[in-house]
Amino acid sequence: MDPVTTTRISIRRATRADAEAVTAVFLASRAAAMPYLPRLHSDAATAAWIRDVVLAHSTVWVAVDGAEVVGFSALDGSELDHLYLHPDACRRGIGSRLLRIAVDAAPNALRLRVFQRNTAARAFYEHHGFVAVDHDDGTRNEENEPDMTYQLGKR
**Rg for the chain (alpha carbons), in Å?**
15
The model's pTM is 0.90
**Which of 67, 127, 65 is CA-nearest to residue 96?**
127
Confidence band, pLDDT 50/70/90 cuts, at residue 154:
low
Question: How far is residue 20's CA from residue 26's CA, in Å, rounded to a whole number?
Answer: 10
2 — pLDDT class (breaks 50, 70, 90): very low
pLDDT at 95 over 90: yes
Instruction: Give the per-residue SS3 of 23-40.
Output: HHHHHHHHHHHCCCCCCC
Average pLDDT in the 13-25 region? 97
> For 42-57, what is each residue's pLDDT tens digit?
999 999 999 999 999 9
pLDDT in tens, 103-147: 999 878 899 999 999 999 999 999 999 999 999 999 999 999 999
Question: How many CA atoms are closer than 13 Å to the CA of 2, on its beta-carbon side?
Answer: 12
The chain-wide mean pLDDT, for the chain, equals: 92
Amino acid at 64: V
